[in-house]
Structure 1
Amino acid sequence: MKRIVSLFLLLSQTYLFAQGKLPIGDTLKYDILFNGRKAGYSWLCQTGPRQYASYQEYNDRGRGPKLLTTFKASPQGIVTFLDVEGNNYMKGKVAETYELLNGVARWENTAEKQQVSVTRPAIYLSTEADAPYLPWALLASPEKKIDLLPAGQSSIRLLKEHILKNGKNAYLYSITGLGFDPSLLWLDENQMSLGSFSDSFNEVREDVRDDVGDLYQIQKEEMDGYYSKLTSQLVSKSRTGIAFHNVNVFDSERGKVLPARTVLIRDGKIQDVGDASLKLPKGYTIIEGKGKTLLPGLWDMHTHYGGGSEGLLNIACGITNIRDMGNSLSLLELQQQIDNGEVIGPRIVYRSGIIDGDGPYTVPLGISVSNLEEGLRAIRKYDSLGYQQIKLYSSIKPEWVKPMADETHRLGLRVAGHIPSHMTATQAINAGYNEITHANMLFLNFYGDTVDTRSMRRFTLVGEKAASLDFESQEFKDFVKLFQDKHISIDPTLGVFEGMFTSSPSKPSLGYSKIMSRLPATMQRNASWGALTPPPGQEETYRNAMKAMQKLVKKFYDAGILIVSGTDDLAGFILHRELELYAEAGIPTTEVLKTATYNAAKLCDKLDVLGTITKGKIADVILIDGDPVRNISDIRRVSLVVKDGNLYDPKKLLEAISVKYFE
């Protein structure tokens, strides 16, 4: 999803450049802001008749692109030449070319080398750079639609007009066909881009800085209305009750399957659970469960929830509860919308208030602080807002950790997160951490406290060295015992590392390969977006690093450490892959399923109302067309979801965001 978001940062940079209405040599300039702080910039200018250049550069915790794009376009906005050079978000080299000549389109990039005959107008989309010519071509089209290369179709429509503070008009457009969500973009009265706006990541044209809040609010209201309408179409309610008949029930507490059960649901609660002799009440909606498995709703314990299509993806994939691991304060509004039934989404059960130190690698979410006292005030603010956990990040000074952890514990909250730079996991645990986030942070423990883990080095060092870790060494055994003694949990997020360490531009990770054919056409080309580029000759070393991560998680499971499953990646589908990776590591499937049900509810202190299929608890259950205890991959086959007693058809939810149902 991050690649799709990036695609729109410069998507609409101008409609009229190709018509020559921007004087040659003049430049439109944009600031890229994270949480109001400048993180980079972009520009676009016309360099000659129907010839253009654009540039984008920003720093996101050591990651971020530096891309120079040059292109030519016809008066109708059809790009005829494109060249992209530089590095992508993950610092991989970019060299991409495209040419349309005599009805033949040819392009080459790190993943593709193709040529096709073009018989009607079509727009090529780069795999790395943005497409400032796309809105122009769409608006010039009589039907406001255009084919995309190599596949797909996009359309545009006007949503709203707005008067800027300078008295000029602005126009909000919606573009579809590029991802799960419609993409909204603002153009001025000359059809030039005003930027891209959100609550934390903004690209702002220099002359509309004072309008950002208004433009974002209008845009947000449009998207809220769009998903509110979908909600009214996609949620089914039982007027009486629901009865699952003759279904196998997964007992998540004991880790076993109970065959041929009847489960009754009424008024959003589990009314009863019994065997085949349990009477089916008259008038209930009866769902036959023979050959299927009923599980408690799944939990994703590592999200940065953004609403919209994420809500539909989560529910369609059986995820009814999430833990948010760091966000803007707009999360509180999202939570309220879900709880009120205004939009479809998982229950945000647990919120982590993210805190980072000021500096060049500050995380673009949450609260940044420049001294310890500011850190303590941030903790108190999150506590006053009802957060349950504090997440510390990489730029926190090591000497702040203990007093910040002490204050967090004094208020009754947990401490989790990244290990601050120039600190080890052992030191962080001894200073008060309750949980370590991400498996790479566990490996970094063995490379000392001199490593600057704010940068990309927190990934590349693990890629280079993880496979050589001696799991039988006393150092490793002492590390595991520390977790045992202090009851520390882990949130490994193996799925995101599989993408980093095992995929390449021409070959996505297994986790994405399993779902690629189900995704929108334009998203299939970006399935390897998060891949690292190993140094020459170290490709196998990086792949073995992923195997070492799985082995480490198995070692922690064997030691009785509490493991919770989370993604920090594509909503829904990557949690399924996370569970598969645990099973591949040798963890029994019953225990794997517990990480996303019982264990999660236990850590979040919600076992009294969630986490098991038990009489009196909240009616969050999912029906699997298969048996994930015998075959963990059956967890992908979600055929029905019940959340708060409401019924959701996963097929309809996925169709609403252009995703194919499982076969």
Structure 2
Amino acid sequence: MPPHKEKYVLRLLSVLILAAVCLFGQQFAFARPGQVTAITNVEVFDATGAAPWQGTVLIRDGRIIEAGPKVKAPRGAKVIKGEGRALLPGFYDVHTHWGPRATPSALPEVAANYLASGVTTVLDFHQPPEAFQPRREWLSQIPSPHVNMVARMSTPGGHGADWSDQTTTKWVFTDESAQRAVQELLPYEPDYIKVFTDGWRYGMSPEETSMNEETLSALATEAHRNNIRILTHTVTAQRGALAARAGVDIIAHSLQDRVITEEEVADIVASGLYYAPTLAIYEPRRPGAPELNMESAAVRQRVWKYGNAEENLRILFAAGVPVALGTDAGIGGLVHGDATLREIELFVAAGLPEADALIAATANSAAALGFAEDRGTIAAGKRAEIVLIDGKPWKTISDVRKTSLVLVDGAVVYDAANPPKPLPATLAARPAPALIDDFERADGRTAIDTLPVTDLDFGMERSVITFTRRPREEGDHVLSVSANMARKENPMAGVLFPLSRGSVIPADVTTYEGVSAELFGAGDYTLRIVSMQGMWEAKVSAGEGWNNINVPFTDFTFAGNREAAPEWTGDDLLQVGVLVNRAAGETAWFEIDDIGFYPAP
């Protein structure tokens, strides 16, 4: 295991034990280091393919040390009585998005939702690599599942590149650029890489670019050389076979444009990849939703595609392709945690036996992520990632929703009889320094050690921005920004400066009066502040030469729905930036120096 993961696990274990004692100490006596915890007289679904059995599971120092029908609790063990409950490995979700528009969106609440659903390992596809380290540190301080950070790659004009810049999603289109992009990600220690290989937009909007087999193969080879597994956004049958031939590890969506052919199935089987169909994101009618209007052509198309998704799952499962569990939770209204359980139910609805659906959610998903030797089944030596359920989900699959108790690394992190209290939604804000950047660092990072990012238009047609540091005079440098404006209405370009690494820790600017900067280049600009509550903007104009700009916070207005605008607090800022608005197809150029905050008089 890489060193950063070992440290993460150790920190997580110590914090979880402490949190569990604080949260549940009145109900349970928890094992000290070296002491045994015994879950006794419980019906065990061990996810090995064996029939459920009644017995005892012993845990010490975060690992299962013994499990079986004849196992007895040793003297001095801390006992959790399992009568009337089922014990399974913790569930997995290999495709989630912990984003600001998700339900829920706050990191501690997302973590709590997964634990309450019995989910002990997830992959987060949503973060820029700059956010990996601070989010890992935050997660280590709270009860949480194991959260693996996933870097992202796409093609220029591809899905995933249509809403982010290259600090979040690398754009590659040749074998050489793919190899170099993997190398660029290594300092961030990504746990996995997601590749947007397929530009088909489900027949609902124009197709975007797709990745060719040579590029994907080179990307997978370079990633594997560095012990990183690859998941792909692949949604069409032909490109599913291409992904298999290229050597990807997991297809993380349903193939649904048509029913796959025997040749395509053969390619997928031969590759040994895992298939995580994310049925939950495609389900045409979710529980509690109104009846579908089958008079609508769009609805009929959704139903047809979902039928293809189910049929392809059945075909691949019958062919021996191992099924893993992913959902796309955090996107399209899918609720974190609940979506994972819904995916298990949808496996069964599509035709998988209940036991196989549970194995997909546990042992198969662990193996897909490279954890087969570490977790995913109930066996001696495995990590104690455990969920206790009031029911028998291998008989009635909806019983997966009856979570009773959850253990991560052997520590109880959720108890349905004594739910934990909510944690603060954000980290405590830090006082913002007066200077954000004077552009004197030669490594491209700001004076506060953050990485500037380009604020791009969303969509296929978008402005192209470049920026570089250049000398202004001896001993002084500025940031020079150039843009080719997109050929569309109201194109936009600019640069944002995070106030903490990865924009994770909010900044408090309540001791300042406003934003200050020096701008060179005549024209109209927009100063943007990104806060935890949304975006705030102020319009400014610059004349010829250098212009000293001081804009009080009172001049900024909320950029969202004005009628629902939150109150400005000044203690939750994430980014500050400068945008330029020019006509479609024009070029733009400006320079920035000494951006920061100025004090109140």
Q: Give the TM-score of the pair, scaled to structure 2.
A: 0.56
Which amino acid in the other structure matches residue 269 of structure 1? R
> 2:217 maps to what in 1?
402
Taking a change above 3 Å as real, the CA distance of residues 360 and 385 of structure 1, as seen in their structure-2 partners, is closer
Identity value in percent:
28
Name the CA distance, whole Å, in 1 between partners of 2:73 and 2:418: 28
Q: Is the 8 A contact 2:276 2:325 kept in 1?
A: yes
Q: Is the 8 A contact 1:231 1:343 kept in 2?
A: no
Query: 2:53 is matched with which residue: 258, 274, 277?
Result: 258
Taking a change above 3 Å as real, the CA distance of residues 271 and 355 of structure 1, as seen in their structure-2 partners, is same
5+ residue gaps, structure 1, are 1-226, 447-468, 470-474, 503-508, 514-526, 659-663
Query: 1:656 is matched with which residue: 417, 422, 425?
Result: 422
The answer to whether structure 1 residue 347 and structure 2 residue 146 are counterparts is: yes
Name the CA distance, whole Å, in 1 between partners of 2:368 and 2:143: 25
Name the CA distance, whole Å, in 1 between partners of 2:20 and 2:46: 31
Taking a change above 3 Å as real, the CA distance of residues 370 and 242 of structure 1, as seen in their structure-2 partners, is closer
Q: Is the 8 A contact 2:275 2:321 kept in 1?
A: yes
> 2:228 maps to what in 1?
413
> 2:188 maps to what in 1?
385
Shift of 1:481: 1.3
> 1:168 maps to what in 2?
none
Q: Is the 8 A contact 1:255 1:594 kept in 2?
A: no
Name the CA distance, whole Å, in 2 between partners of 1:383 and 1:544: 41
Shift of 1:657: 8.2
Q: Secondary structure of the equivalent of 2:52? A: strand
Shift of 1:389: 3.2
> 2:92 maps to what in 1?
299
Query: 1:242 is matched with which residue: 37, 48, 51?
Result: 37
Shift of 1:490: 1.2
Matches within 5 A, 1:138-537: 233-234=22-23, 236=25, 237-239=30-32, 240-259=35-54, 261-275=55-69, 277-305=70-98, 307-329=107-129, 330-338=131-139, 340=140, 342-348=141-147, 350-359=148-157, 362-364=161-163, 366-369=168-171, 372=174, 373-393=176-196, 394=199, 395=209, 397-398=211-212, 400-419=215-234, 424-439=239-254, 442-444=255-257, 446=258, 469=259, 476-498=261-283, 501-502=284-285, 509-510=286-287, 513=288, 536-537=296-297
Taking a change above 3 Å as real, the CA distance of residues 378 and 356 of structure 1, as seen in their structure-2 partners, is same
Query: 1:559 is matched with which residue: 313, 319, 323?
Result: 319
Q: Is the 8 A contact 2:92 2:362 kept in 1?
A: yes
Q: Secondary structure of the equivalent of 1:438? A: coil
Shift of 1:313: 0.5
Q: Is the 8 A contact 1:318 1:622 kept in 2?
A: yes
Shift of 1:642: 1.2
Which amino acid in the other structure matches residue 133 of structure 2? L
Name the CA distance, whole Å, in 1 between partners of 2:308 and 2:156: 33
Q: Is the 8 A contact 1:397 1:421 kept in 2?
A: no
Q: Is the 8 A contact 2:241 2:268 kept in 1?
A: no
Which amino acid in the other structure matches residue 386 of structure 1? E
Q: Secondary structure of the equivalent of 1:606? A: coil
Which amino acid in the other structure matches residue 170 of structure 2? S
Number of equivalences: 372
Taking a change above 3 Å as real, the CA distance of residues 238 and 654 of structure 1, as seen in their structure-2 partners, is same
Shift of 1:244: 1.4
Q: Secondary structure of the equivalent of 1:443? A: coil
Deviations 1:117-173 (A, max 9, x none): xxxxxxxxxxxxxxxxxxxxxxxxxxxxxxxxxxxxxxxxxxxxxxxxxxxxxxxxx
Q: Secondary structure of the equivalent of 1:627? A: coil
Name the CA distance, whole Å, in 1 between partners of 2:372 and 2:172: 38
Name the CA distance, whole Å, in 2 between partners of 1:377 and 1:607: 30
Name the CA distance, whole Å, in 2 between partners of 1:230 and 1:284: 21
> 1:579 maps to what in 2?
344
**Residue range with higher mean Cα deviation, 592-601 or 327-336:** 327-336
Name the CA distance, whole Å, in 2 between partners of 1:265 and 1:578: 29
Shift of 1:243: 1.8
CA RMSD of aligned residues (A): 3.4
Name the CA distance, whole Å, in 1 between partners of 2:267 and 2:108: 41
Which amino acid in the other structure matches residue 169 of structure 2? I
Taking a change above 3 Å as real, the CA distance of residues 550 and 286 of structure 1, as seen in their structure-2 partners, is same
> 1:633 maps to what in 2?
398
Name the CA distance, whole Å, in 2 between partners of 1:599 and 1:571: 20
Q: Is the 8 A contact 1:293 1:625 kept in 2?
A: yes
Shift of 1:562: 1.3
Matches within 5 A, 1:54-93: none
Name the CA distance, whole Å, in 1 between partners of 2:77 and 2:293: 56
Taking a change above 3 Å as real, the CA distance of residues 359 and 534 of structure 1, as seen in their structure-2 partners, is farther
Deviations 1:394-446 (A, max 9, x none): 4454263333334334434333212499983333433343332210xx223x5
Name the CA distance, whole Å, in 1 between partners of 2:24 and 2:134: 21
Which amino acid in the other structure matches residue 327 of structure 1? Q
Name the CA distance, whole Å, in 2 between partners of 1:336 and 1:584: 39
Which amino acid in the other structure matches residue 262 of structure 1? T
> 1:189 maps to what in 2?
none
Deviations 1:170-191 (A, max 9, x none): xxxxxxxxxxxxxxxxxxxxxx
Taking a change above 3 Å as real, the CA distance of residues 571 and 229 of structure 1, as seen in their structure-2 partners, is farther
Taking a change above 3 Å as real, the CA distance of residues 535 and 387 of structure 1, as seen in their structure-2 partners, is farther
> 2:582 maps to what in 1?
none
Which amino acid in the other structure matches residue 392 of structure 2? D
Name the CA distance, whole Å, in 2 between partners of 1:420 and 1:587: 21
Shift of 1:308: 2.0
Taking a change above 3 Å as real, the CA distance of residues 267 and 230 of structure 1, as seen in their structure-2 partners, is closer
Which amino acid in the other structure matches residue 308 of structure 2? A
Name the CA distance, whole Å, in 2 between partners of 1:235 and 1:381: 43
Taking a change above 3 Å as real, the CA distance of residues 335 and 611 of structure 1, as seen in their structure-2 partners, is same
Shift of 1:309: 0.8
Shift of 1:328: 1.7
Shift of 1:392: 1.5
Taking a change above 3 Å as real, the CA distance of residues 400 and 344 of structure 1, as seen in their structure-2 partners, is same
More helix by share: 1
Q: Is the 8 A contact 2:39 2:79 kept in 1?
A: yes
Shift of 1:604: 1.8
Shift of 1:652: 4.3
Q: Is the 8 A contact 2:238 2:264 kept in 1?
A: no
Taking a change above 3 Å as real, the CA distance of residues 632 and 386 of structure 1, as seen in their structure-2 partners, is same
Shift of 1:591: 1.0
> 2:442 maps to what in 1?
none
Q: Is the 8 A contact 1:490 1:564 kept in 2?
A: yes
Q: Is the 8 A contact 1:313 1:654 kept in 2?
A: no
